[in-house]
Amino acid sequence: MQKRILGCLAFIVVIVLVAVIVAALSSIGIYNGMVSSSQAVDQQWAQVQNVYQRRADLIPNLVKTVAGAANFEKSTLVEVTQARASVGQVKINPGTAPTDPADLQKFQQAQDGLSSALSRLLVVSERYPDLRANQNFVDLQAQLEGTENRISVERGRFNEAVQTYDTKIQTFPGVFLAPMMGFKPKPYFSATAGSEVPPKVDFDFGTPAPAKP
């Protein structure tokens, strides 16, 4: 009888140990999966910042080129310059994607403000034949358009990476383990309000720029 009881106890201990080992291995796998997804988000965040920096680096040459056009409206140049400065004032850790939605919102608002200012500048430039004939301006415009497309692509990929990560930490069993392991949801880029509407341009000069004789 005693041997039977001891045998049952030993069996129960073995079952418990197996369950603990399985749970531990499962937790390790879940943890590693969340780490991998978090790193993927951070890597894509770096790509987003790279393309935005590429755009910022193009702007000084663009402003310099446009400023040389006769009678070009100064308010547009000031708007672009100020928008670029506002972008530089938004500080976010370059190596880690933000977890605070307010931080990402500030970053996006500054970048979208610069996008709007650049759109206005490029639309206004259509009124200046000298600019359209300036090869340097044409090249810069093409580079900016390519960069804007790249920004859209990288933002989309960032949102996809965030969706994968957030799904892992907000569904079973990650939803129970994530808080204990320090994993927090990461915010998405949102669609810019009114982005489907072409930019409105209100020229601040009364007559068209004079054509080059």
On the question of pLDDT at 195 being above 80, the answer is: no
Mean pLDDT of the chain: 85
- CA–CA gap between residue 159 and residue 157 (Å, rounded): 5
Predicted local confidence at residue 210, as pLDDT: 43
Mean pLDDT value across residues 113-128:
92
Residue 201, in any domain of the structure? no
Give the range of the structural domain holding residue 35, as residue numbers without chain letter.
2-181
Domain tally for the chain?
A: 1
Is the residue at 191 inside a domain?
no
The reply to whether 123 falls in a domain is: yes
Residue 200 lies in a domain: no
Q: 153-166: buried (b, 16+ CB within 10 Å) or exposed (e) per residue? A: ebbeebbebbeebb
Express each pLDDT in 35-56 by its tens digit: 999 999 999 999 999 999 999 9
And the tokens for 152? 């859209």
157 lies in some domain: yes
Of 61, 163, 45, residue with least CA distance to 104: 45
Name which of 97, 117, 78, 124 is nearest 38 in CA terms. Answer: 97
pTM of the predicted model, to two decimals? 0.82
Is the confidence at residue 34, as pLDDT, over 90?
yes
Domain membership of residue 79 (yes or no) is yes
Backbone angles phi, psi at 173, to 5 degrees: -95, 0
Per the domain annotation, does 199 fall within a domain?
no
Report if residue 150 sits inside a domain: yes
Residue 97 belongs to domain with CATH number: 1.20.1440.20
What proportion of the chain, given as a percentage, has pLDDT over 90?
A: 62
